[in-house]
Structure 1
């Protein structure tokens, strides 16, 4: 049996935002393609996955919620890669952040998704996914 798999491709960019703010990080498109076959040229399986990071507006709203929940000063600098633990958050603080995000975006975050949220970017990505799913159901 033969098998061929292609690697992931990630593009990084530097996004400019209003008020001369910049977000440096991964605005990524990840593409995984793989296939295998038992006899040439019969193609047995094929898969493709594309994932994108959250919109800057969503990330900005997450910044606001995190600052409010952790009582951070307005001038506190945050980035998408900022971990809640770096800001002094414990597990209870993280639960409160998730509850604040649920209220802000009118969504419900399942426990398994909440446990995977450790950074601002992860929170924004989960929110985008849940908002999109909610919109699809409407």
Structure 2
């Protein structure tokens, strides 16, 4: 029967040694007090994945409300302020989204919408809640 033994957990690169007939020595690359981080960097973002159709509709509403050319490239991470929107424009975007999706966005939700992804996520949540009520 094979057994796995570990050396003291010191900062060493991972390596394997055969010691004896049925055992393997493994040194892990971290110390007892410091383990590899599982956190995402500030460049990565984990978000609820709204349906692509929802995101596409949000793109169209934003382009319409801000009078952007049809070929304007947007991404889910695009901030309304990057497109030149002020607070009144953001309110108009939210109103356009309410009309497009036949939903009502509460004021506290509306204040949290600053990007296309946030808008799509709020819409998915509200549409889902509306369907669940039926």
| TM tier, smaller | 0.5 to 0.7
1:125, 1:9 → 2: CA distance?
22
- The runs of 4+ residues in structure 1 deviating greater than 2 Å are 7-10
Q: TM-score, normalised by structure 1?
A: 0.64
The count of aligned residue pairs is 95
Deviation at 1:8, TM superposition (A): 7.7
Structure of higher CA gyration radius: 2
1:111, 1:8 → 2: CA distance?
35
Aligned position for 1:119: 115
Does 2:66 match 1:63? no
2:55, 2:111 → 1: CA distance?
19
1:92, 1:8 → 2: CA distance?
39
Deviation at 1:52, TM superposition (A): 2.8
More strand by percentage: 1
Q: 1:75 aligns with which of 71, 76, 91?
A: 71
2:81, 2:133 → 1: CA distance?
34
1:52, 1:66 → 2: CA distance?
20
Q: Which runs of 5+ in 1 are unaligned?
A: 1-6, 11-24, 29-50
Q: Which runs of 5+ in 2 are unaligned?
A: 1-36
Note closer, same or farther for the CA distance 1:127–1:9 as it changes in structure 2 (3 Å cut). farther
Aligned position for 2:33: none
Q: TM-score, normalised by structure 2?
A: 0.66
**Match of 1:81, SS?**
coil
